[in-house]
């Protein structure tokens, strides 16, 4: 193939492509006028329906406007009637005011006197209210005190009754307690106020010892002392075997020793070294 043939072939190819693109562009711009006509007809029908509805709304609004205008005319007529009535009443009131103004000069003095009297009465009423309030507060306070005192009195009466109920058994218990202590050699004193006093502090604890020495002036030394609970003034019995020899009273104490004096009125025999000493001989 010659060069000219090749050029013509290329030109033919280019022209074919160009015609193909032109055909596609023409097809793309093609319009279906029947469909367009149908769509336009449908739009027209819709617009006609909307126009009909708008006309109906316009008719309704026109009727409502007519009714409102009639109601307004009726209300306006009623207001005009009321205005005329109020105007007549105003004229009448003005006439009465003129009459009252004419008689005001004669009643002004009486009005001032009445106002002064009202002021005085108001002041007196305030004072009386204050006095009544003070009296009421005082009465309330006294009533509360009476209620409080009544409650306290009732409580005291209940306590008194309880104490009276408990007094008899307590008196019996104190009597038994006193009898028992007296049998044990403990002095008991019951005062008028009911207090019970004893010399129980002088009772030595339960101990058992021996006489470790006998001195002059009825003094003896025993083997028990303050560590055993012995105190000055404690009284102890002295015995030998089963024989009661007498009673001693502690004069001086040490941790493991004590010095006692023989009580003459209780002496029943000669006390010697080695005799037993105990709280109470039995």
> pLDDT by residue (tens digit) across 2-51?
777 888 888 888 888 888 888 888 777 755 667 767 878 888 888 888 88
- So what's the pLDDT on residue 232? 93
* Confidence tier at 183 by pLDDT (50, 70, 90): low
- So what's the pLDDT on residue 251? 95
Run of H or E residues at 258: strand 258-262
* Cβ–Cβ < 8 Å for 260, 219: yes
Does the pLDDT of residue 184 top 60, yes or no?
A: no
**For 202-256, where are the E strands, in sequence order?**
208-214, 219-222, 235-240, 243-253
How many Cα atoms occupy the beta-carbon half-sphere of 170 within 13 Å? 10
| Alpha carbon distance 71, 196 (integer Å) | 111
- So what's the pLDDT on residue 274? 94
Does the pLDDT of residue 62 top 90, yes or no?
A: no
Beta 276-278 vs 235-240: how paired, if at all? Answer: antiparallel
| Alpha carbon distance 142, 134 (integer Å) | 12
Number of folded domains in the chain? 2
| Alpha carbon distance 232, 226 (integer Å) | 9
Q: Is residue 91 part of a domain?
A: no
* pLDDT (tens digit per residue) in 209-255: 999 999 888 899 999 999 999 999 999 999 998 899 999 999 999 99
* Cβ–Cβ < 8 Å for 240, 279: no
**Among candidates 208, 205, 242, which has minimal Cα distance to 222?**
208
Q: Is residue 13 part of a domain?
A: yes
- So what's the pLDDT on residue 172? 75
Beta 258-262 vs 219-222: how paired, if at all? Answer: antiparallel
Give the burial class of 155: count Cβ atoms within 10 A of its Cβ; 0-12 exposed, 13-18 middle, 19 or more buried: exposed
| Alpha carbon distance 276, 260 (integer Å) | 13
CA torsion through residues 68, 74, 77, 78, sign: negative
Residues 6+ apart with CB under 8 A from 229: 204, 205, 207
Q: Is residue 220 part of a domain?
A: yes
DSSP conformational letter for 256: S
- So what's the pLDDT on residue 231? 92
Domain that holds residue 230: 204-278
**Among candidates 234, 239, 224, 233, which has minimal Cα distance to 270?**
239
For residues 123 and 204, the model is more confident at 123
Query: Beta partners for 262?
Result: 248
What does the mean pLDDT of the chain come to? 83
- So what's the pLDDT on residue 31? 56
Percent of the chain with pLDDT over 70: 84
Residue 30 in 3-state DSSP? coil
Percent of the chain with pLDDT over 90: 22
Q: Is residue 47 part of a domain?
A: no
* Confidence tier at 149 by pLDDT (50, 70, 90): confident
| Alpha carbon distance 55, 63 (integer Å) | 12
| Alpha carbon distance 125, 198 (integer Å) | 74
| Alpha carbon distance 191, 57 (integer Å) | 119
* pLDDT (tens digit per residue) in 80-113: 898 988 889 999 988 888 888 777 666 677 777 8
What CATH number has the domain bearing residue 242?
Answer: 2.40.30.20
Q: Is residue 229 part of a domain?
A: yes
């Amino acid at each position: 193939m010659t060069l000219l043939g090749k050029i013509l072939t290329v030109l033919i190819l280019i022209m074919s492509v160009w015609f193909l693109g032109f055909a596609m562009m023409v097809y793309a711009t093609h319009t279906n006028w029947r469909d367009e006509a149908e769509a336009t007809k449908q739009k027209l029908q819709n617009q006609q329906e909307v126009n009909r509805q708008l006309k109906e709304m316009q008719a309704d609004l026109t009727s409502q406007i007519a009714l409102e205008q009639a109601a307004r005319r009726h209300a306006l007529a009623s207001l005009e009637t009321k205005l005329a009535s109020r105007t007549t009443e105003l004229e009448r009131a003005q006439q009465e005011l003129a009459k009252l103004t004419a008689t005001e000069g004669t009643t002004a003095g009486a009005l001032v006197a009445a106002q002064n009297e009202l002021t005085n009465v108001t002041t007196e009423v305030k004072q009386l209210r204050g006095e009544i309030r003070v009296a009421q507060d005082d009465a309330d306070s006294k009533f509360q005190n009476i209620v409080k005192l009544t409650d306290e009195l009732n409580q005291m009466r209940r306590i008194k009754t309880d104490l009276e109920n408990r007094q008899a058994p307590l008196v019996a218990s104190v009597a038994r307690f006193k009898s028992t202590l007296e049998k044990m050699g403990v002095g008991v004193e019951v005062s008028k106020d009911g207090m019970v006093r004893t010399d129980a502090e002088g009772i030595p604890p339960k101990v058992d010892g021996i006489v470790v020495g006998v001195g002059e002036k009825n003094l003896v030394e025993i083997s028990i002392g303050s560590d055993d609970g012995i105190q000055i003034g404690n009284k102890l019995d002295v015995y030998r075997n089963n024989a009661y020899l007498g009673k001693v009273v502690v004069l001086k104490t040490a941790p493991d020793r004590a010095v006692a004096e023989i009580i003459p009125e209780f002496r029943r025999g000669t006390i010697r070294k080695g005799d037993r000493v105990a709280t109470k001989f039995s």
